[in-house]
Amino acid sequence: MHCSKCKGLMVQERLSDYFLVCYAWKCLNCGAMVDPTIKENQRKQPPANAPEPISP
Ligand SMILES: [Zn+2]
């Protein structure tokens, strides 16, 4: 796998999120992280005091 930004070499990096362990791709050249679950988690976390969005 190669970085979409700089075509550098990417390695898998182990991430732990509480009890979940996932692996993301990290570019050794520019440090870009590729992990769809990170974006997914950020989208799922609502701001404080905000109700969770209900998808139709
Ligand atoms: Zn890169």
Digit-coded pLDDT (tens) for 7-55:
999 999 888 878 888 888 999 999 998 876 655 666 666 666 767 778 7
Four-residue CA torsion sign, 47, 53, 45, 25: negative
Residue 17 CA, ligand 1 centroid: distance in Å: 24
Number of structural domains (the chain) is 1
Tokens at 16, concatenated: 């732990």
Q: Is the pLDDT of residue 5 over 70?
A: yes
- Domain assignment present for 34: yes
- Domain assignment present for 36: yes
- Domain assignment present for 56: no
| pLDDT for the residue 38 | 54
Residue 49 CA, ligand 1 centroid: distance in Å: 37
- Domain assignment present for 40: yes
Residue 54 CA, ligand 1 centroid: distance in Å: 36
Residue 12 CA, ligand 1 centroid: distance in Å: 13
The residue segments making up the domain with residue 39 are 10-44
